Amino acid sequence: MKRALITGITGQDGSYLTELLLAKGYTIYGIVRRSSSLTRTRLEHIYGARHFEREKLYLEYGDMTDGSSLRTIITRVAPDEIYNLAAQSHVRVSFDTPEYTVDVADVGTLRLLEAARDYQKQAGKTVRYYQASSSEMFGSTPPPQSETTPFHPRSPYAIAKVAGYWHTVNYREAYGMHCSNGILFNHESERRGENFVTRKITLAAGRIKVGLQKELYLGNLDAKRDWGYAKDYVEAMWLMLQEDKPDDYVVATGESRSIREFLDASFGLLGLNWQDYVKIDQFYMRPSEVDFLLGNATKAQEKLGWRPKVSFSEMVKIMTEYDLDLAERELHAKKFSRS
Ligand code: NAP
Ligand code: GDD
């Protein structure tokens, strides 16, 4: 049975990838960093459970800023596949913490690749490596964006991801390692972090609907994104590592919509007019913005046979209904605590 090592296992994609690989019979080792409160809510249904899957998921303390921890874990775990999903992944926050963002996503990637290379040499076995690259790397280059589109990154986060992309290509070319980049366009879900725009909108729509919130503060509503469903996207990661030859792939839906269109879709489902609630706050504007992302995933479709299964409107419905349910439960808990 295969063994996979996942960095960023506690994040949105890490949790879906864990479910996918467990279903395929993998044993999984996830790297978690120390924090003052546990950040494992997305894994609780697996890690907290006393059933078969619990036996095949192990969490190891480590950090992308600590090369010695990465080396120790790789040697102990002896993985067949490594999925590098860890990052300070919030673009606006990367302007506030540029050095840390680069340390995790750029130098951290290099640390992990070096540890994997050393392990390969010592163990004499091939490790397959997946790098979570991003459509943010295209930045201001006009759409549609594909594997051959030049990068023009517009944030410390995107610059760190460009470096991580090239480290990955370089380990493939210099050392013949099986290293692949997934250039994933935005993908969302009911497990999306609460300060990314889609989840911020669906959470607010639910809370406004039940009367728990009156306003929603946002930044630039004109930016356009190619939004897909996260569960579909982790499948593309796995498919890349099953190929005989490592390569780089764009993963996207081929459709792009503005923040206004996302607002229309989510608030509209709950019979609300978003214009009555949304206010603009300069705080959420970025020093330099990425205006228009639209991916061309022809290569992933043709070589990997990958296609998105969940449409934009289905995804908005899943997220909006999930967050309405959360809001209703919050309201119920408040009423109950007063009675
Ligand atoms: P996410 O929810 O923000 O998860 C990020 C993960 O990285 C979390 O598990 C986090 O741990 C971990 N992490 C952060 N700093 C770390 C450090 N210093 N050491 C070890 N782990 C650390 O991100 P996501 O949406 O799942 O995305 C997964 C990856 O794909 C990221 O690299 C992201 O940049 C990239 N990506 C995402 C998208 C997208 O639309 N979602 C698109 C393209 C690329 P904590 O839980 O402790 O914070
Ligand atoms: N987060 C946020 N909060 N974004 C806002 C807001 C707000 O209040 N108001 C408007 N936006 C706009 C941002 O300016 C941006 O143009 C767009 O909404 C999307 O922002 P995010 O949801 O934060 O995602 P992102 O596109 O910047 O980055 C995500 O996708 C990348 C792939 O393209 C992240 O997941 C990155 O880690 C990922 O690489």
CATH architecture for the domain at 197-223+256-292+311-338: Alpha-Beta Complex (3.90)
Q: Exposed, middle or buried: residue 221 (CB in 10 Å: 0-12, 13-18, 19+)? A: middle
Q: Is residue 196 predicted with pLDDT exceeding 70?
A: yes
Of 47, 83, 130, 157, which is the active-site residue?
157
Residue 52: the pLDDT is 52
| Domain residue limits, the chain | 3-189+229-251, 197-223+256-292+311-338
User: Which residues, judged by CB distance below 6 Å to any ligand atom, belong to the binding site of ligand 1?
Assistant: 7-14, 31, 33, 35, 39, 63-65, 85-89, 104, 132, 134, 184, 186-187, 193
What is the per-residue pLDDT for 337?
78
pLDDT of amino acid 93: 98
CA dihedral sign, ordered 203, 209, 215, 219: positive
Q: What is the pLDDT of residues 236-287, one digit of tens each?
A: 999 999 999 999 999 999 999 999 999 999 999 999 999 999 999 999 999 9
**Is 69 one of the catalytic residues?**
no
Any ligand 2 atom below 6 A from CB of 193: no
CA-closest candidate to residue 232, choices 17, 7, 10: 17
Architecture of 3-189+229-251 per CATH? 3-Layer(aba) Sandwich (3.40)
Question: Which ligand 1 atom is the nearest neighbour of the CA of 100?
Answer: 18
Percent pLDDT > 90 in the chain is: 94
**Tens digit of each residue's pLDDT (9 = 90 or more) over 104-140:** 999 999 999 999 999 999 999 999 999 999 999 999 9
Mean pLDDT of the chain: 96
Chain segment 284-320, per-residue pLDDT in tens: 999 999 999 999 999 999 999 999 999 999 999 999 9
